[in-house]
Amino acid sequence: MTGMAVTIGDLKLRGPVLAASGTFGYGTEVPLLERRALGAMVSKGIFLRPRRGTAPPRIVETPSGMLNAIGLQGPGADALIRDYAPLWADWDFPVLVNINGESASEYGELAARLDGVPGISGFEINISCPNVEQGGLYFGNDPRAAAAVTEAVRKRTTLPVWVKLTPMVSDIGVIARAVESAGADALCAINTLVGMSIDLNAGRPRLSFRTGGLSGPAIRPLAVYLAHQAARAVNIPVIGIGGIARAEDALEFLVAGCAAVQVGTATFVNPRAIADVHDGIAAYLKAKGLGSPADLPRHLPKD
Amino acid sequence: MERGWGGEARLLVFLVDARIAGKRRVAREMWVLAMDAPEIAASVRAGQFVNLGWTPGPLLRRPFSVYRVDDDRIEIVLKAVGAGTAQLLDMDRGDRVSCLGPLGRGFDLGAGPRSIVLVSGGLGVAPMPLAAREATALGMRVTWVHGARSREELCTESGGDEVIWATDDGSQGLAGTAVAAAPDADLVLACGPNPMLAAAADRWPDALVAVETYMGCGTGVCLGCAVPLKRGGYDRACKEGPVYRAADIDWTALPAHLPYAVTA
């Protein structure tokens, strides 16, 4: 009998396919969703206070990918608690909130504000958003800063704390170990890469913010590699993210050492992407006679 | 209406594997594509759009206003402005297109107005045939003003009680813009390039305009289609729009030209 349940730290999820932050709003918007397939949802990233976001154009398509510079537009903690958490409290899967700040203490303050709110099951610390002037990426490419943010959040909540890592580092293992030591329950790898696209007619960047975060199938081989590197570096679970659109894509991350995956940009293209990936994994496990995602063979060479 | 699972009341959205049923040219490089999408055809309102994906195609879906509806068929109007739309135009009758919709909020024609003017520029013709049909059904007198750069670029199809043409070079109809050529009416609808809509906003602050933006998801999650508002902040063209009261948009902050289907 094949079961799809996975365990991430203390959190038991009914399936290994999660909705990635920023591509799923607050979970109320996506049409045609088959919620049975959703292991968990990570909400759109928020700051303590409301944020306006960047000026348009905010997105541009690239070969097999997409650049975005939304700038973490969001309602802030109070509105999140008032408008969304009560809905989440009724759902049959956990919702984690992607949290952001301009300083380690601001991350901690946000976690404390959301801690204990019914409907919020954990946090994904975003130390890797390329689209904000302060915070974001700065914390993600310095092991001490990454650890300081993780610790600041860890001290203010008993809920699961995941840390979403940036690919924009020379050794992801160093950052992974730093946040593991600081008390992270799991890692999410990877966030978008910083990219740029130029409008030749206008002679200027296509995005008003100049640069944006690259997502989609274009980043998948890099994401598989970095998620694998992170998984080798730590003893906590790693959740793979990056260009997953089909079950085969997700299976690559699982075989590379991830305990679960998040599906992001693919949801824009295929509103049923999460269900398709979930069902495809289940079919693969069944065909191979495997009992659960944890039973997947991982014969990866050591270097 | 159905209750969304998140508790939001939402309009029904369908994902249809639609067969291309026909293609015709309506201006130089401007085509109308018909596809079988019965559920969408039965529920779409003027100003709403569909998000199309096809194989092989670009990564993201592309938004298109629904142009006409005929029984089980919907039509869209398009030009090959990039690699994606060129691929779509290369498709033949019988080919399949993934069609998500209807999306967005259409024109609210209300019950009050007795006369309506539809002002369209270039591809902005897209939402107007449905608007004309709905306005006629409400008993309004419909004047359609359509503008383009030249006679060759004017869409040959139009409707309503009166049709006014306008071309930048004067090769057909009045010389000048569609906005300048239009008479006043109880209600004005406009669609076209953003600078044209900004001009419409100056003349008719209460006009209802359908704006053009890049879109990522088309369903309200990605916040990529941000429309800057006069009162501050942004909202989503795919969800609160694409139709707005003209005076509510901060036209200085909305990019003037957004060619769709860019694969950079």
pLDDT in tens, B161-215: 999 999 999 999 999 999 999 999 999 999 999 999 999 999 999 999 999 888 9
Is the Cβ–Cβ distance between B31 and B19 less than 8 Å? no
| B2, pLDDT greater than 50 | no
CB contact under 8 A, B255 and A70: no
> Residue B10: what pLDDT?
54
Q: Work out the minimum CA distance from B262 to partner chain A, whole angstroms.
A: 7
CB contact under 8 A, B224 and A68: yes
CB contact under 8 A, A29 and B13: no
Q: Work out the minimum CA distance from A188 to partner chain B, whole angstroms.
A: 20
> Would you state the structure tokens that stand for residue A42, as one six-digit string?
């990570």
Q: What pTM value is reported for the model?
A: 0.93
Q: Helix (H, G, I), strand (E, B), or coil: what is residue B79?
A: strand
Is the Cβ–Cβ distance between A207 and A155 less than 8 Å? no
Mean pLDDT of chain B: 91
Chain A residues touching residue B4 (CB < 8 angstroms): 28, 31
> Would you state the structure tokens that stand for residue A65, as one six-digit string?
């990918």
Chain A residues touching residue B221 (CB < 8 angstroms): 23-25, 29-30, 44, 267-268
pLDDT tens digits along B47-101:
999 999 999 889 999 999 999 999 999 999 999 888 888 999 999 999 999 999 9
Q: Helix (H, G, I), strand (E, B), or coil: what is residue B224?
A: coil
What is the C-alpha to C-alpha distance for residues A120 and A127, in angstroms, rounded to an integer? Answer: 20
> Residue B257: what pLDDT?
63
Which residues of chain A have a pLDDT value below 50? none
B35 or A129: which leads in pLDDT: B35
Q: Work out the minimum CA distance from A12 to partner chain B, whole angstroms.
A: 22
Q: By CA distance, what is A36's nearest residue in B?
A: B5
Nearest to B5 among A35, A52, A64 (CB): A35
Residue B222 touches chain A, beta carbons under 8 Å: yes
Q: By CA distance, what is A68's nearest residue in B?
A: B224
Chain A residues touching residue B6 (CB < 8 angstroms): 26-29, 87
Strand bridging mode B174-175 / B162-167: parallel
Beta bridge partners of A61: A66
Of B101, B96, B136, B92, the residue nearest B116 (C-alpha): B136
> Residue B78: what pLDDT?
93
Q: Work out the minimum CA distance from A283 to partner chain B, whole angstroms.
A: 23
Q: By CA distance, what is B251's nearest residue in A?
A: A56
Q: Work out the minimum CA distance from B140 to partner chain A, whole angstroms.
A: 34
A-to-B residue pairs, Cβ atoms closer than 8 angstroms: 127
> Residue B81: what pLDDT?
82
User: How distant is the alpha carbon of residue A165 from its chain centre?
Assistant: 9
What is the C-alpha to C-alpha distance for residues B203 and B201, in angstroms, rounded to an integer? Answer: 5
How many beta carbons lie within 10 A of that of residue B26, not counting itself? 15
SS3 letters across chain A: CCCCCEEECCEEECCCEEECCCCCCCCCCCCCCCHHHCCEEECCCECCCCECCCCCCCEEEECCEEEECCCCCECCHHHHHHHHHHHHCCCCCCEEEEECCCCHHHHHHHHHHHCCCCCCCEEEEECCCCCCCCCCHHHHCCHHHHHHHHHHHHCCCCCCEEEEECCCCCCHHHHHHHHHHCCCCEEEECCCEEECCEECCCCEECCCCCCEEEECHHHHHHHHHHHHHHHHHCCCCEEEECCCCCHHHHHHHHHCCCCEEEECCHHHHCCCHHHHHHHHHHHHHHHCCCCCHHHCCCCCCCC
CA distances from B66 to B33, B57, B100, B107, B229 (A): 10, 20, 12, 12, 25
| B6, pLDDT greater than 90 | no
Of A256, A237, A263, A240, the residue nearest A296 (C-alpha): A256
CB contact under 8 A, A31 and B10: yes
Nearest to A56 among B7, B213, B222 (CB): B213
Chain A residues touching residue B256 (CB < 8 angstroms): none
One-letter identity of residue B176 = G
Q: What is chain B's length?
A: 264
Q: Helix (H, G, I), strand (E, B), or coil: what is residue B51?
A: strand
Complex ipTM: 0.91
Chain B residues touching residue A57 (CB < 8 angstroms): 213-214, 255, 258
What is the C-alpha to C-alpha distance for residues A68 and A214, in angstroms, rounded to an integer? Answer: 7
The H or E element spanning position B77 is: strand B73-79
Residues of A annotated as catalytic (active site), given as ranges: 129
Residue B264 touches chain A, beta carbons under 8 Å: yes
CA distances from B37 to A135, B12, B86 (A): 46, 14, 22
Of A110, A118, A172, the residue nearest A146 (C-alpha): A172
Nearest to B255 among A31, A54, A56 (CB): A56
Residues 6+ apart with CB under 8 A from B176: B166, B168, B170
